[in-house]
Amino acid sequence: MKIVALGDSTTAGTPAFKSPLESPPAGSGDETSQYAFWLMKVHPEWVVLNRGINGQRSDEIHARFERDVIRNEPAATVIIAGVNDIYQGRSVEHVTGELQAMYARAAEAGIPVVAGSIIPFNTATPEQNQRMRQANEWIRRQPKVTFVDTRAAVAASGNPDLLFESPDGLHPSAAGYRRMAEAIAPALLRVLR
């Protein structure tokens, strides 16, 4: 069962892991620092292709959608994108427009989408957190995708705008990536049925 994990650093496994796109052919670093690893550990029947690239915005991820998702003909895709857009000052509408285009293309190809929410980073301003919340609310409301609150999965208890554990203040620890996988797995099981 092939699944494509598509996104930015939080899909790639930054900072401890470089994805196969960043470090061909198989990626490099601590393999436990990626949610794809934890999905396959719990579901050995799944092959989860890590198609994350650190630092990419939603438009850059969208630009490689055909190559990285459609051409692989997966049973499902997990899409998490938008944090770098927010970080770079782009609008919520920019993020949602790119996500909408990816969701529509996946639907057209008959590929179910599990849509993760944008996860927090510890240096975000109140205004950046507000834009992330707006984008996440939009993702939650999309009718043709299965929403997963990956933000809540990695957030500190009592503060949804901070990571519960982070090696660099910007990305989850391996334990955080494991929590992301634990949130994503039930949604994948639903769409794969």
pLDDT at residue 44, rounded to an integer: 97
Q: How far apart are CA 26 and CA 136, in angstroms?
A: 31
Cα–chain-centroid distance for residue 157? 21
Length of the chain: 193
List C-alpha distances in Å: 168 to 63, 64, 114, 140, 178: 28, 27, 27, 28, 17
CATH superfamily of 2-192: SGNH hydrolase (3.40.50.1110)
Torsion angles phi and psi, residue 84, rounded to 5: -70, -30
Give the residue ranges of the chain where pLDDT is below 70.
Answer: none
Q: How far apart are CA 71 and CA 187, in angstroms?
A: 23
- What tokens appear for 20 in the block? 């196969």
Contact 3, 38 (CB under 8 A): no
- What tokens appear for 12 in the block? 């790639």
pLDDT at residue 160, rounded to an integer: 94
Domains of the chain, residue spans: 2-192
Q: How far apart are CA 21 and CA 18, in angstroms?
A: 8
pLDDT at residue 4, rounded to an integer: 98
Tokens 């009592």 -> residue = 158
pLDDT at residue 129, rounded to an integer: 97
Q: How far apart are CA 117 and CA 97, in angstroms?
A: 15
Q: What is the largest CA-CA distance in the chain?
A: 42
In this predicted model, what pLDDT tens digit does every residue of 99-119 receive, in sequence order? Answer: 999 999 999 999 999 999 999
pLDDT at residue 142, rounded to an integer: 97
Q: How far apart are CA 122 and CA 178, in angstroms?
A: 19
